[in-house]
Amino acid sequence: MSLLALAVGGRGVVDPDEPVLHADDEALLRGRAAFETLRVYGGRPFRLQDHLDRLRLSSERIGLPPVERTQFRSLAGEALTAASEPEAVLRLLWTAGRASGEPMALALVSPLPAHFEELRARGARLVSLLGLKSDAPWLLGGVKSTSYAVNMAAEAEARRQGGDDAVFVDADGVVLEGPVTNVWWRTGSVLFTPGLELGILAGVTRAFLLEVAPQHGFTVEEGVFPLTELVGAEEAFTSSSVREVLPVVELDGRAVGDGRPGRAAVALQAALRTAAASTDTDSESITSER
Ligand X SMILES: Cc1ncc(COP(=O)(O)O)c(C=O)c1O
The residues binding ligand X (CB under 6 A) are: 37, 177, 180-182, 201, 203-206, 239-241
Is the CB of 97 or the CB of 199 nearer to ligand X? 199
Reduce the secondary structure of the chain to three states and give it as a string: CCCCEEEECCCEEECCCCCCCCCCCHHHHHCCEEEEEEEEECCEECCHHHHHHHHHHHHHHCCCCCCCHHHHHHHHHHHHHHHCCCCEEEEEEEECCCCCCCCEEEEEEEECCCCHHHHHHHCEEEEEEECCCCCCHHHCCCCCECCCHHHHHHHHHHHHCCCCEEEEECCCCEECCCCCCEEEEEECCEEEEECHHHCCCCCHHHHHHHHHHHHHCCEEEEECCEHHHHHCCCEEEEEECCCEEEEEEEECCEECCCCCCCHHHHHHHHHHHHHHHCCCHHHCCCCCCC
Alpha carbon distance 259, 197 (integer Å): 30
Shortest reach from residue 138's CB to ligand X, in Å: 17
Is the CB of 165 or the CB of 250 nearer to ligand X? 165
Is the CB of 35 or the CB of 218 nearer to ligand X? 35
Shortest reach from residue 49's CB to ligand X, in Å: 13
Shortest reach from residue 40's CB to ligand X, in Å: 13
Is the CB of 25 or the CB of 36 nearer to ligand X? 36
Is the CB of 242 or the CB of 249 nearer to ligand X? 242
Shortest reach from residue 131's CB to ligand X, in Å: 9
The partner residues of 130 in beta bridges, in order of sequence, read: 169
Shortest reach from residue 48's CB to ligand X, in Å: 12
Is the CB of 35 or the CB of 97 nearer to ligand X? 35
264 touches 186 (CB < 8 A): yes
Shortest reach from residue 149's CB to ligand X, in Å: 13
Shortest reach from residue 190's CB to ligand X, in Å: 21
Is the CB of 128 or the CB of 241 nearer to ligand X? 241
